[in-house]
Amino acid sequence: MLRLTTTIVLSATLLGCDGKTTEQNAPSTESTTTQAPTGIPAETYLTERPADVLDLVEIKKNAKAGDAVVFLARVGGRVKPFAEKQAIFVAADPSLKSCELMSTEDYCTMPWDYCCTSREDLRMGTATIRILGADGRPVATSAQGAGGLEPLKFIVVEGTVSDRNDEGLFVVDADRIWVGGKPTYEEPRKGSI
């Protein structure tokens, strides 16, 4: 089941920088709401940012399944970074530039898909984050909106690596998540502290 769920999240099609989508990969209006989902415990979300955390790519280099990890990332890396019916989402390393950080001009309608970043960089710089329920399965609701989670926001994830491989797969079961703000072109790390 883990492989199937992970494959679904990781196989989303990237959107081009020209903003064109197909009906198959266009985000639904449901995925852009900020309504807080039910079923995710409030204690999952930290009010204070953990100190001295490394970026996702630094942790991803050596972490193996079963390791406890803490890292900084940003929500995004796919057209639809949040699964619609499970508390699973994709996060990207802060070194990867989403489209709103490439120019002061607003030329991309979905900067969270990182469409101007190479597929290889995305493969090596992203992680799938899962929020599990008491039954050990992802909570049966989207994580979007919970604790302030939304595309492009900085997050610090504390959790355990549940799966990984040399092809870029990196799945972390989150115990706690701190949600920060969004960066700007002028301040690419704004919102990370």
Taking only the tens place, the pLDDT of each residue in 120-147 is 999 999 999 999 999 999 999 999 999 9
Which residue type, as a one-letter code, is found at position 103? S
Q: What are phi and psi of 61, to 5 degrees?
A: -60, -45
Task: Return the HEC string of 40-91.
Answer: CCHHHEECCCCCCCEEHHHHHHHCCCCCEEEEEEEECCCCCCECCCCCEEEE
Q: Domain residues of the chain, as ranges?
A: 2-9+43-179
pTM of the model: 0.81
The pLDDT value recorded for residue 108 is 81
2 vs 170, residue with greater confidence: 170
What's the confidence (pLDDT) of residue 98? 86
Tens digit of pLDDT for each residue in 35-81?
A: 345 689 999 999 999 999 999 999 999 999 999 999 999 999 999 99
The torsion angles phi and psi of 126, rounded to 5 degrees, stand at -125, 160
Decide: residue 71, CB within 10 A, 0-12 exposed, 13-18 middle, 19+ buried.
Answer: buried
| CATH 2.170.120.12 applies to domain 2-9+43-179 | no
Residue 107 pLDDT more than 90? no
Burial class for 146, CB neighbours closer than 10 Å (0-12, 13-18, 19+): buried
Cα separation, 69 vs 159, in Å, equals 6
